[in-house]
A and B are shown apart, each in its own frame.
Chain A
Amino acid sequence: MKFLNLVLAGLLVVVASCSKEKNFDERELHLMSPEKIAGFDPIQVSDRYSGHENGKVYEGLFEFHPLKRPYELIPNLADGMPTVSADGLTYTFKIKQGVLFHESPAFKGPRELKSDDVFYTLRRLADPKLSAKGWWIIDDKIAGLNEWREKNTNLPVTNYEEPIDGFKKIDDYNFSIVLKRPFPQFLYSLAMPYTFVVAKEVVDMFGKEFLNHPVGTGPFTLEKFEQSNRIVYLRNTKFRDKFYPSEGAEGDDKLGLLADAGKKLPLVDKVVVDIIPVDQTQWLNFQKGRVDLMEMKSMYERALDDGNQLHPNLKSNGIRLHIDPMLDVTFFAWNYDNPIMKNKKLRQALSLAFDRAGYNRTFYKGLASEAQSVIPPGLAGYRKEFKNPYTKYDVTLAKKLLAEAGFPGGKGLPDITVETRSDTIPRQQVEFLAKNMMEIGVKIKVGQNTWPELIKKVTTRQHQGYTMAWGADYPDAENFLGLLYCPNSSPGSNGSNYCNPDFDALFKTATQLQDSPERTSQYEKLMEMVALDTPWIFGFHRPEVYVSQAWLKNFKQMEFNHSQFQYLGVDLEVKKELSKKF
């Protein structure tokens, strides 16, 4: 043991002395991941951090514009946006010519991306033997795919050769995908990590080891992969001509986000990602200038002073602060299986008694924005000027409505248990709600659960109320409005089992439309409809706080940011200058 310790100590010295010699000639990006990476098999990438790593090596047919907001889907491997048939079922795609996969012993010479690779990728996602985590995004969407999956469940080896109705190859660069029914959100699934394009030869050659040997078309190649320690990427020297965008959102110009417009991507030669699970260690590394970017998660107060400005000592090192709302909504939901909750005045009374400003101060340093309804800002369907009359804090009105609802002073109303996770903050959040509700005589109890227990209670309708946050899967309000759509009731995503026939009818028509002003106005109507009906106590759109070093260029917060890293740059002059200070 002593010997091992000595060796370890020796190693530490070596590592420390290595990192001291900073390299100012090579454009290196230093990032960190707070969690271990699940590996490089795109169909299994369900978490955000594995998505970041896969997005460096692989690419999808589409991606989100790195600067424009609201989020705009733009072609990546696809050559232009697809044409959609009048019935909304057939999508015809064209892919860029001359896109090469990284070099690999699996290929004989250079290997170009073809239509078949896209079909192969989607088939893998549906392969019953692989139990892909991302299957749900195309489940029951593509003609003939579910049947193919079903048929192959009992075969010893999945048959990839059998034709599928929904996949129509035109030539090597043109193909169509036929859907079962109109589903305009389909294109978003082609920008998610699950559908990053892989090559059959590589999967066949590496078999189970495939997840450690990624070969994609992306801007970086994997150089070193130590799952719980460090990942190193090098610039893909054969990367196609892809350039930094020349337009962005309003104000991006002033922030210097367009300075690199027209430059060939990626902007750095090397990316080093350290796996650092402990908050404190992350923060020390950032302060030492060893990493370029850090997500502050729940540690805002380390970087912010009382006025929510960056601490002066951080500012003096040129560190920048980025605060933006996430695409999410938090809520306290009631269970509509409980007849009491069908009482609209009761629901409105509960919502009015909730002190949002106090809650925001206590849990988000006042940085969150109060949700007026279910759709977060940044999505079509959100209206900045819309104020929900039942989200203000008005105890008198709440008491009045409670009496009108038949429960004067809370009399006759049974205790309501609100289920949450048993961590400190979730518990305190429900305690805060309970404290508010006590003022109008309503008794709320805290139900503490492990995450699987909570999910089980919600999906099996064994709850009176619960609280959760919903984050966007893709930037479409459908993803949020669907939380209140009756056919999505438990075990679906509508955990409150809320049913409103008017809402359901309009939701059905609106979500079949392609993105258009018509659809946006229908989304807005739906948003107002639920706001006034107050099915939940609407909570917040939470803030996301990042800090970045002075030399990191082009960082702009993004919800779907797995392809963002190719756009980031490093200013070596600034880094050299500032490194004297660290």
Chain B
Amino acid sequence: MQKKGFWQGLYQKLASPKLTVVIFLVLAAASIVGTLMPQGLGEAELQRHYGQRAIWFITTFGLNDLYHTGWFRLLLLILCANLVVCTIERLPKTLKIFRRREEQVDPEKLRKCSLNCQFISKLSRDETEARLTKIISEEFGALQRFDEADHVAGVAEKGRWSPLMVYVVHLSVLLVLCGALVGSIFGFKGFMNILEGEATNEVMLEGSDRGLNLPFQVRCDKFDVSYYDNGMPREFRSDLTLIRNGKDVLKRELRVNDPLTYDGVTFYQASYGAILKDADVELTDRESGAVRRLVIPFREWVDIPGTRDRAQILRFDEDFRGLGPVIVLIISRAGGEPSGSRILIERDFHGNRVENYNVRVLHAARIPYTGLQIKQDPGVWLVWLGFAAMLVGIGLTYYVSHRRLWVWAAADASKGTINVVIAGRTNRNEISFEREFNRLCGRLQAQLGQEKGGSKP
């Protein structure tokens, strides 16, 4: 018994619209925390920026990877449950209203509608009936009639399916979340850097240090960047060849905003860079004045000719604080402890020296690489479907409302005139409907009263 009570209570909680609003606000608040707290910080970075207590708090609640924590997903799950339960609760009622056709009109009820107008027609019954039908059909929509011997009655309506659109929007949210779930379970996201001229099938997975091997190889035949006058990159592209079982299966150039899909895997031109191949360096010995020139391959020790010293390029950066490309050169004198310094490649700089050598880089030979983003997402079509449904649903909710108009007209035997009652109701956008209703009533009054000149303003 008690258990049933719990489930019933839970079900009722999930059916409440208040819960919807609360989840929206909680999700919003959680998302705000996620944007204020830098995401993706590792253990080391946390140690550097935060105290012990804060780190405990951050790691316990997963604030450094908030959007992927269990509790954030639980919130989304509650939202879904809320959506489903509300739909189960309300859709049958909405469908009932949707299916129901009205078959009679009660003039007393019409008089109680907030939007109603009553006037007297001085035309004959036939003429009144004809004009009512004609004008309402013209201005509003087809009038369904269910007259009886002593009166004329009818209803006209527009946008009868508009209340259903809310359910389309709700379904769309479920579709998008399902698509995301499918993608996160069955898909992957990663990147690969390919040196010009080389081929690889290794993908570094995002957010993990694991790799993944594609069933085919990707070769970068050529990589190219063009620039604007002001130095901003204008465009970059790679000429790619996909190789399967030793055979070229696809050749295509890859550009930003123009991805390539093969075998369910999509490649995006994401970034680029260069690694250093070697540098042509001129070393001037400040003591002896001797000038020596040598080519130093990246990360290899090279003997400086005529000495017992050795040099190595430890690092290469395409740009160092806006000063242009730079290498870190280390020199070890006569087998001793090496010492090093940053050498600006494109500038003459008094700090371009290591040990007793002044250093000038004559040429730095680079090998460009292309940075590709790679993903496989079998759920993406569900997301697109959800997006489409969402737009249709919200769009029609905004542009179409369910508007109904009732008419009732009966003869007043004592005066020989006909009493007309008109009422209207809408589920949304009352102001514009009110205007429409008043215009229609004005026209009806003018037309039905006009024969004997007794129309009211």
Bound pair (A, B): no
A positions within 8 Å CB-CB of B: none
